[in-house]
Every structure is written in structure tokens, then in C-alpha cells.
Amino acid sequence: MSERKTIYLCLAHMSETGEEQKYVKEAFDTNWVVPLGPNVNGFEKDLEAFVGQNKRVVALSAGTAAVHLALLACGVGPGDEVCVQSFTFCASSHPITYLGATPVFIDSEPHTWNMDPELLEKAILDRKAKTGKYPKAIVPVALYGMPYDCDKIMAIAHKYGIPVVEDAAEGFGSRYNGQVLGTFGKYGVLSFNGNKMITTSGGGALITNSDEEWNEVMMYATQYRESYPYYQHEKIGYNYRMSNICAGIGRGQMTIVDDHIAHHKHVQALYEELLADVPGVHIHKQPTTLAPLTHKPVYDSNYWLCTITLDPDVRIKGQENAYKEIIKTAVGGAAGVIHVAESATTDCQPNENVEALRVFMLDKKVEARPVWKPMHKQPVYQGCPAYINGISESIFKVGMCLPAGPYVTDDDVRYIVDCIKEAIVR
């Protein structure tokens, strides 16, 4: 019997027609191998057509770069504060610090796990009372593809005149009331990392509202050069433009984006069906709210990743060995070099049964990971203002991500669920 493949959380999937190769070959054949060119322009137009709402799009080297430039375009600078969702990946908050500003972390509401509107408004008023000024921007996040409460967040932002930078890096193709995420705020952020809904191998994009905004962001993305026959710089710019080769991959990926989104939703539905009778294991679902006029679902998640929670009393095989050894390498498919920790534990970590299930699944060649650790519990942000209700910390203790990418088959999902059942001690 052949050895089972490893099932990763989410890996990019190339189109079966080879559209990506066509565009990449064209870039080499025409010698457009720089951070500009026909593929970049074409990819931006493809994205503009996809998101709609008469938006303009700038293709960039990373989603993190898009957050950075969006905040810069909002006027964020040293001494400012930015309200940002705490339950997220660090790319949502790190760019705030690049600009010398301070993140103000906002905890989650329990239904979508995204930014709590009531806490947001409390934070805005409290920061005004404490600092004499309102936060400079608001950064809500589509966690694991789940839309946040766009109506409430945008109403609060409008009430206090604060621009919104939508971090839809994980929510490409997710919709709220039929409208694509990333098109509600002043700016929208997309990511095309190798594990996202579509990929350019690495890359991102910034959605803007007008030609003027698009032009200013483009200037900042290309070193902010003045219109002289030589290089004159009157503002600090960045080298953030997407390459023509990466954009070629993106153009090919856009031909199958709808298939990818449909597949992720199908995988979610299958998990919901197969986990329904597993005691103590709960799959996170989108709210069932219906729009008053159309009676259609308000929330339409792309389910970039499917997530579960484990009841604290669920016991997992090998649980007695959880957190006994220091991990010395990146976990699962995580990229990059990591700093070896001094201790196997921290003061905020998943429960022992969650860690035991991660290890058990890894032995079964299934990549499963904890959900994001809230940013307000990260040592690097110690001392930053945080408005907390305990939701994100409680989910972090019991939550786990399951594979959902285009390579995950129905048989894979059945195998994953069978592994979860096998792991539970009855």
C-alpha cells in the first residue's frame, strides 16, 4: 500500500488549462521580468472586474505592503493610533508600527470571531478622552474568510469620520450582503500568498476608490518619483510593485477563482455534515442572518480555512505529553526561520487537548494548526491599548484550523474526520 500524502491546510492550485504558464512564458518571451508590465496591468483589470463597485486596484508585492500603503494614504504617522482587530495575523498590525503609530487592539464578537462593533465604539470614545484625538484609521479583518459586520463597523467609522482599511487578505471573494469584501472602506487589502484563495506565489493588492487615490498609492509603491528626466524624490516611497511574472500567475489564477471559492464552501459543508455527530467538536459556521429586503444570506464566507473548537473536557490520545518539549522548527507548512523558544509554554496558549490533537493529526499526515494567537497577547505588543471581552483568548484556547484548500478531496475530508474521531479517548 502506498504511503499516504500529507494533507496541508491550503495550497495553491494551478489551472488545468495552464493559463498561468502562458502568461509567465509571455513575460519571459517579451523580456518583461520587472515589477511592471502587461501582466501587472492585466491582473489589476481582472481584479477590478472581480471586486466591482467601480474600484481601482494596485497590484503589490504582498498583502502586508497593501496594509502599509493604505495606512500611509490615510495619513497615519508617528504619534497616531489605529484601531485594529486583535484576533488576526500579525500583518494586520505590524504595518501600524512601521509608521511609528500605536495599534489599539479590539477584541471579537462571538458569531464571526471578528471585530466587536460595541468594543470598537467604546475604544474610539475612550482614546479620544485619553489622547484628545480620534484614532487615525480602523482595520477590521475577515478572519479565515469570514465577513465582519460591515454595516455596524462602517456606521461607526462614518459617525466619527475615521477611514476604514479592510483587511480582506483571507477573505478574497467573501461577500457581505452580496458585496465583495474590501470594497466597503476607504481602502481594501487582498493577499495572494501561496496559501490564499488564489496565488501569485507571493503578492497582494490594494483596492482604492478613485483614480486620484490609485495614482497616489502607485507613486508610493514605486519609490515616489517626481516628473523630472532624472530621479527626484520629495517623499519617501517603497519598492512594493508586483512583478510581471507573478502577475502572470495571478492572471491564470483568476480564470479558476470561482471554482476555488466553490470548492472551499463544499469542503466546509462536508465538514459540517461529518462532524455533526462528534461530541465535543464544533465547526465554526457563518451567521444565518438574512437581509430584510432580499431575504438572502448577509454573510457569505469563502471559508478560506475551516475551523473547529474542542470542548475543554474532550480528551485526546497523547494529551499527557502536550507541551513537554520545546518545538525547534516551523510547525506544519509554516514558512520562514523561527527563533527557538526558551520554554515549551507561554501564559496564553491552546489547551492541552488542542495541542495533542495537532500532534496526533501530524502523525497521520494531516496539517492542523491552532487559530491565530490574539495580537494583544503577543509579547511584542505588550503595553499597547487593548479593549478586551475575552472572546479571542477563549477561542484561541480551544480552536483549530483544518485543511480546506483546492487539493483537499472529499476522501481527504472523510479521512481527516475519521482521524479526529480516532484521536478522541472515549
From CA 243, how far away is CA 265, in angstroms rounded? 31
Helices (H), 223-316: 244-253, 257-275
Calculate the average pLDDT of the chain: 95
Beta partners for residue 316, in sequence order: 424
Q: What is the pLDDT of residue 27?
A: 86
* Domain extent listing, the chain: 19-256, 258-423
Q: What is the pLDDT of residue 2?
A: 58
Does residue 242 register a pLDDT over 50?
yes
Residue of 215, 161, 150, 213 whose CA lies nearest to 187: 213
**pLDDT tens profile 305-332:** 999 999 999 999 999 999 999 887 766 5
Residue of 150, 417, 146, 194 whose CA lies nearest to 304: 146
Cell 494551478 sits on residue: 14
User: Which amino acid is present at 60?
Assistant: L
Q: What is the pLDDT of residue 330?
A: 66
Q: What is the CATH number of domain 258-423?
A: 3.90.1150.10
In terms of Cβ atoms closer than 10 Å to its own Cβ (0-12, 13-18, 19+), residue 49 is exposed
Q: What is the pLDDT of residue 342?
A: 86
Q: Of residues 134 and 36, which shows the higher confidence score?
A: 134
Q: Of residues 313 and 24, which shows the higher confidence score?
A: 313
Does residue 17 register a pLDDT over 90?
no
How far is CA 245 from each of CA 11, 43, 50, 239, rounded to the nearest angstrom? 19, 11, 21, 16
**pLDDT tens profile 65-101:** 999 999 999 999 999 999 999 999 999 999 999 999 9
Q: What is the pLDDT of residue 331?
A: 66
Average pLDDT of span 99-118: 98
Q: What is the pLDDT of residue 364?
A: 97
Does residue 336 register a pLDDT over 70?
no
Average pLDDT of span 194-219: 96
Mind giving me the DSSP string for 286-310?
Answer: ----B-TTT--BSEE---SSEEEEE
- Indicate the range of 327-331, 370-374, 399-403 predicted with least confidence: 327-331
Does residue 192 register a pLDDT over 90?
yes
Q: What is the pLDDT of residue 334?
A: 54
Residue of 78, 84, 83 whose CA lies nearest to 97: 78
Q: What is the CATH number of domain 19-256?
A: 3.40.640.10
Average pLDDT of span 41-68: 98
pLDDT bucket at 338, cuts 50 / 70 / 90: confident
Q: What is the pLDDT of residue 1?
A: 43
Cell 508617528 sits on residue: 78
